[in-house]
């Protein structure tokens, strides 16, 4: 059961799938994806303004302009596939649910989590920089 009409959400999904993200629709897909070996960028997508104005464009810039290389790019959509989103958030132990979110994981272990407050009021360039910094810091200490 979803909160939003699919025709409204489809373009928001497409922003990420067109740049290589795999959209996860159920908890089983989440488990399979997040247990894969390697580095994963997981985006909890949303219809909110900070996702539209900052998070999705910021992620796009981070991947295209900052040279970030993840083994896996995956996304769930808050407010749509609620069970898949809940399964993804189980990897964010101790973090309050918010959307959007960007998580960097390695071999299924959370290394860094950006929350809604990290996106709110920040433009795509700032968000791309924050994701790049988190990527470099996370993988340097992993």
Instruction: Give the active site residues.
Output: 48, 50
> Which run of H or of E encompasses 132?
helix 124-141
Cβ(115)–Cβ(59) under 8 Å?
A: no
Give dist(CA 37, CA 59) in Å, integer. Answer: 22
Which residues fall within 8 angstroms of residue 125, CB to CB, at 6 or more apart? 58, 61
Q: Whose CA is closest to 62, among 41, 77, 44?
A: 41
Q: Left if phi > 0, otherwise alpha if psi is -120 to 50, otherwise beta: which for 79?
A: left
């Amino acid at each position: 059961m979803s909160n939003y009409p699919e025709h409204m959400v489809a373009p928001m999904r497409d922003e990420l799938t067109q740049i290589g993200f795999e959209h996860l629709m159920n908890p089983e897909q989440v488990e399979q994806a997040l247990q894969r070996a390697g580095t994963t960028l997981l985006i909890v997508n949303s219809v909110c303004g900070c996702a539209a104005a900052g998070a999705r464009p910021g992620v796009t810039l981070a991947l295209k302009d900052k040279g970030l290389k993840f083994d896996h790019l995956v996304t769930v959509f808050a407010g749509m596939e609620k069970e898949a989103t809940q399964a993804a958030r189980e990897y964010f132990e101790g973090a309050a649910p918010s959307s959007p979110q960007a998580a960097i994981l390695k071999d299924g272990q959370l290394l860094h989590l950006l929350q809604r407050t990290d996106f709110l009021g920040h433009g795509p360039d700032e968000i791309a920089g924050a994701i790049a910094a988190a990527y470099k810091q996370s993988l340097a200490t992993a």
